[in-house]
């Protein structure tokens, strides 16, 4: 079968589509015929050997995927049946014609969702839910400021926040991205790096209750300044590539504010059943239509590396998807 593989840790330009042996499912795995694969930031880091998880090359990329169950393993324990539509997530391995994935990291895909949308759901939306509920303690009618709001995690955060009853303010860099964030469901949009004053005006001087920051860099200090009393900044990533921001902790004391790390993957994978509970939490949001992943660019399997480059250079909107079959 065909698989997208890292052969040398020299970045996305050297990724290869290779013929490999089909996977052999373990006792707790589901064998899936893959239709779509989501492009994820960990894929980019893995291609350079910069991720905290460091498999030895050659290995297959692909964090998010969607497809059809070929072999459900033990249906009484996996809960799946042959022919069932599913989405799944793992550290890697999904960018192939078939994947053997643990049943606890595999989810029933609603009929209302396409395979492309299914491949956009797991990592971004479960991360957003973990950030807002588990780490952010989001309460109904609070206000959430979302950086990188036109990207995959950003649009997921907008939609999940709305599903949890919050008001959302999206921060983006261009008019095109502003339109995309609005279409994803943002209540308000602010364009440009100087967002602080606009956010204060939109909140009547109060500030926001939660900031979800996937960007880091220069925006971080102004994010702290945008917080209402007892507000929380949730650190999800550092897509700006400007280094790791530092916090002057006296600012936290003066405003009774928090900075909280969001590391969904390691937390969720260490707790069997946790992702399934999260997926059930998302289900009513999917059914209501508030969660509907916006798909940006789509690519063929041979262009997986180009898709990563486009994401790295911040040319993409929403979630990019590679179509396998």
34 within domain boundaries: yes
What band does 170 get if pLDDT is binned at 50, 70 and 90? very high
Last residue of a domain, one of 261, 284, 307: 261
Report if pTM > 0.85: yes
Q: Which domain holds residue 167?
A: 136-261
Mean pLDDT of the chain: 94
The rounded distance, in Å, linking the Cα atoms of 286 and 229 is 32
C-beta of residue 169 within 8 angstroms of C-beta of residue 144: yes
Question: What is the model's pLDDT at position 242?
Answer: 57
Number of domains, the chain: 2
Q: Tell me, yes or no, whether 181 and 243 share the same domain.
A: yes
Q: Tell me, yes or no, whether 280 and 200 share the same domain.
A: no
**What tens digit of pLDDT does each residue of 180-202 get?**
999 999 999 999 888 999 999 99
Q: Tell me, yes or no, whether 78 and 163 share the same domain.
A: no
CA 128 to mean position of chain CA atoms: 7
Q: Tell me, yes or no, whether 140 and 83 share the same domain.
A: no
C-beta of residue 239 within 8 angstroms of C-beta of residue 214: yes
**What tens digit of pLDDT does each residue of 251-303 get?**
898 889 999 999 999 999 999 999 999 999 999 999 999 999 999 999 999 99
Last residue of a domain, one of 246, 261, 276: 261
Please give the residue that has the higher pLDDT: either 8 or 76: 8
Q: What is the CATH number of the domain that holds 24?
A: 3.90.180.10
Question: What is the model's pLDDT at position 137?
Answer: 97
Nearest to 5 by CA among 120, 106, 93, 129: 93
Q: Tell me, yes or no, whether 22 and 81 share the same domain.
A: yes
């Amino acid at each position: 079968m065909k698989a997208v593989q890292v052969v040398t840790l020299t970045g996305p330009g050297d990724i290869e589509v290779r013929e490999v042996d089909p996977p052999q499912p373990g006792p707790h795995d589901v064998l899936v015929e893959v239709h779509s694969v989501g492009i994820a930031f960990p894929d980019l880091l893995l291609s350079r050997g910069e991720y905290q998880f460091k498999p030895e090359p050659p290995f297959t990329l692909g964090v998010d995927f969607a497809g059809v169950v070929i072999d459900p393993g033990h249906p009484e324990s996996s809960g799946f049946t042959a022919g069932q539509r599913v989405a799944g997530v793992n550290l890697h391995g999904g960018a192939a014609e078939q994947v053997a994935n643990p049943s606890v990291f595999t989810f029933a895909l609603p009929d209302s969702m396409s395979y492309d949308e299914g491949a956009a759901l797991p990592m971004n939306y479960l991360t957003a839910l973990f950030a807002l509920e588990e780490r952010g303690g989001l309460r109904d009618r609070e206000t959430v400021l979302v950086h990188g709001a036109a990207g995959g995690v950003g649009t997921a955060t907008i939609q999940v926040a709305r599903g949890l009853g919050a008001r959302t303010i999206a921060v983006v860099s261009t008019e095109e991205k502003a339109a995309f964030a609005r279409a994803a469901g943002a209540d308000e949009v602010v364009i440009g790096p100087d967002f602080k004053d606009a956010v204060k005006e939109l909140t009547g001087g109060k500030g926001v209750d939660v900031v979800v920051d996937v960007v880091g860099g220069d925006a971080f200090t102004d994010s702290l300044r945008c917080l209402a009393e007892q507000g929380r900044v949730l650190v999800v990533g550092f897509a700006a590539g400007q280094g790791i921001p530092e916090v002057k902790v006296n600012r936290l004391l003066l405003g009774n504010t928090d900075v909280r790390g969001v590391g969904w993957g390691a937390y969720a994978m260490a707790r069997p059943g946790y992702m399934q509970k999260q997926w059930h939490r998302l289900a009513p949001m999917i059914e209501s239509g508030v969660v509907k992943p916006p798909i940006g660019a789509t690519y063929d399997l041979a262009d997986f590396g180009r898709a990563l480059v486009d994401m790295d250079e911040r040319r993409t909107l929403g979630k990019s998807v590679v179509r396998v079959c």
